[in-house]
Chains A and B, each alone.
Chain A
Amino acid sequence: MIFSRETIAKNVFLFCTLASAVTISSILLFMIALGLPLFQESFFLSIWSGPWDPYQGLYGIRPMISGTLWIALPATALSLPLSLGTSFVVTSLGGPGLRRMLGALVRFMTGIPTVIYGFVGIFLLVPLIREGFGGAGMCVLAAVIVLAILISPTMILFFSDSLLAVDPVDVRTAKALGADRVQRLLYVILPKALGGMTSGFILALGRALGDTLISLMLAGNAIRAPRGFLEPARTLTAHIALVNAADFNSLEFRSIFTCGIALYLFTTTAVVAVRFIGRKKSVVQ
């Protein structure tokens, strides 16, 4: 045999890795190439920092960038403690009945289509916010709440899996030393599971940044950058969905690719940042 099994496997996996890497980088190149007419016709900075008013020839996406951040970051921040608590209960703190029930519920939640969350938001949450806090109801807050619920199963499942993957020998050792359930969780299991939990956090953040339907249905999509949680906002993804209907050769349509680039950079930055923080932490330990 010329190729050993190992070499074949190695090459196949190498090929897969290269294919994914090439795909991802070519997406970025495509977006830049297709967005080029817009970069050439308007002042480069004004695309990123200016307002959106196609009738005046202004194709800035700053309101959408700030809309995305206003919605995705608070949603992730709101979802994090929820998911941490739930995963603690599911993996170690809860009783066996509660654990099974919660676990099944979380897995069930991952299967609910996004549009269902959106509709529940429109018919229940939006009127509640309108009556309770005033304003139009369709606002950043509505999208944040629903989005936090939407992304929490991703986080919970990742958190639980990493918490359960910790070597039981370590846990038993701690138990033998007299550590109670909470101490075992906080000082033994949690530090060891941090790597996997970081992945879950990144994935959820990515989902929050990339979600289209929730913000499109609940955030109001106004073209002004939000200045508070009760104001409407338009995210980059919702903007892409709304402008999609425009004529292909128009500059309006081209701005879709600027949005794509912005989203791409956001996600990349988030991944790199969280990885970097994660690595620093593990070095300290």
Chain B
Amino acid sequence: MSKKTIQMFIVFFAFCFLASPCFGGALDAFEGQKGTLKIAGGTAHIPVMKEAAKRIMTLNKDIVITVGGGGSGVGIKQVGEGLVDIGNSGRAPKPEEIEPYNLKMFKWAIDGVAVTVNPANPVKSLTKDQLKDIYSEKISNWKALGGADHEITVYTRDEASGTREVFWEKALDKGDISTKALFVPSNGAMKTAVANDPYAIGYVSVGHMDETVAPVTLDGVTPTLETVKNGQYKVSRGLYSNTQGEPKGLAKLFIDYLFTTEGQQIVIDSGFISVK
């Protein structure tokens, strides 16, 4: 064996050794487990669920985790009826849902949605009614709001977007969105669009905000990680996982995993706000 090959082996094993903490730790609890875990419900949860499921299933081939969508209502209903082990919802289950099903809920992330404009735009504060008027095309020029005399470009997201859902429910109170609105496919594309268009208005998940776009103060509250966490900024929601009664077996392990440092890192990487 030549010197070079030996060196390569050393480097290789060193890598394996250094990398091993990433594979162990939080996932140790799943060692030796087997079975199927069915998850369904809120679509905003899916990226986090899928990533967690992928990591668990990569470690332990005997565990099968299925992640379905359906929306918050479906998640609560299915877990209540015992069709799935974990039902996700983008809102806290109502008392009349918790009672008959004996649901236990776990809030493992917060999803806040900030209204944004281009940093060059002088209009950085709006009331909720003004925002609704902009999105329903009643106000179509920035001049009416004290800005430049130019048409407002309204950006929105596709119907399947969880970000759109929160924005639509909590900021627009399920009001109209103009058919003229431009659609962008992701939080990233929304930032690019707003950062490049001085007359744009859009919305992004608070976890995605950076200096390329400016947050809009809504009814006097500026959206930041802090104001979302302490509940002052209202255009937000908790992401919940619900179980029927106390979680058992794989469901318990899975929910516990979401609350570990590694689980919360997945939450942050997916653009949500960690609860820890």
Residue numbers of A with Cβ under 8 A of B are 51, 54-55, 122-123, 126-127, 130, 134-138, 216-217, 220-224, 232, 234, 241-249, 252
Residues of A contacting B: mostly: loop
The answer to whether B192 touches A122 (Cβ under 8 A) is yes
The answer to whether B196 touches A234 (Cβ under 8 A) is no
Query: Which residues of B, 24-52, contact A by the 8 Å Cβ criterion?
Result: 43
Answer whether residue B185 sits at the interface, using C-beta atoms and an 8 A cutoff: yes
The answer to whether A242 touches B183 (Cβ under 8 A) is yes
Stretch at the interface among B84-92, B174-182, B225-233, B245-253: B174-182
The answer to whether B70 touches A247 (Cβ under 8 A) is yes
User: Assuming A54-B159, A130-B197, is B182 touching A221 (CB within 8 A)?
Assistant: yes
Number of CB contacts from chain A to chain B under 8 A: 71
Answer whether residue B153 sits at the interface, using C-beta atoms and an 8 A cutoff: yes
Q: Given the complex of chains A and B, what is the CA–CA distance between A241 and B160 in angstroms? A: 11
* CB of B28 to closest CB in A, whole Å: 33
Interchain CB contact (< 8 A) of A234 among B43, B70, B183, B197: B183
Closest residue of chain A to B197 (Cβ to Cβ) is A137
Residue numbers of B with Cβ under 8 A of A are 43, 69-71, 151, 153, 158-161, 179-185, 189, 192-193, 196-197, 199
User: Assuming A123-B196, A242-B185, A247-B71, is B160 touching A232 (CB within 8 A)?
Assistant: no
The answer to whether B192 touches A216 (Cβ under 8 A) is no
Contacts of A122 in B (CB 8 A): 192-193, 196
Q: List 27 A-B contacts (CB under 8 A).
A: A55-B159, A122-B193, A123-B196, A126-B197, A130-B199, A137-B197, A138-B182, A220-B182, A220-B183, A221-B182, A221-B184, A221-B185, A222-B182, A222-B183, A223-B183, A224-B179, A224-B180, A232-B182, A234-B183, A241-B185, A242-B158, A242-B183, A242-B185, A243-B158, A245-B43, A245-B158, A245-B160
Closest residue of chain B to A136 (Cβ to Cβ) is B153
The answer to whether A245 touches B161 (Cβ under 8 A) is yes
Contacts of B182 in A (CB 8 A): 136, 138, 220-222, 232
Q: Given the complex of chains A and B, what is the CA–CA distance between A122 and B153 in angstroms? A: 15
Interface centre among B159, B185, B193 (most CB of A within 10 A): B159
Interface centre among B69, B160, B161 (most CB of A within 10 A): B160
Closest residue of chain B to A131 (Cβ to Cβ) is B198
The answer to whether A246 touches B160 (Cβ under 8 A) is yes
* CB of B267 to closest CB in A, whole Å: 19
* CB of B204 to closest CB in A, whole Å: 16
Interface centre among A51, A126, A130, A223 (most CB of B within 10 A): A223
* CB of A284 to closest CB in B, whole Å: 47
Pick the 5 closest A-B CB pairs, nearest first: A221-B183, A247-B69, A246-B160, A245-B160, A220-B182
Contacts of A135 in B (CB 8 A): 151
* CB of B182 to closest CB in A, whole Å: 4
Q: A122-B192, A217-B189 are in contact. List 10 more A-B contacts (CB 8 A).
A: A55-B159, A123-B196, A127-B197, A135-B151, A136-B151, A224-B179, A242-B158, A242-B185, A247-B71, A252-B159
Contacts of A246 in B (CB 8 A): 43, 69, 159-160
Contacts of B197 in A (CB 8 A): 126-127, 130, 136-137
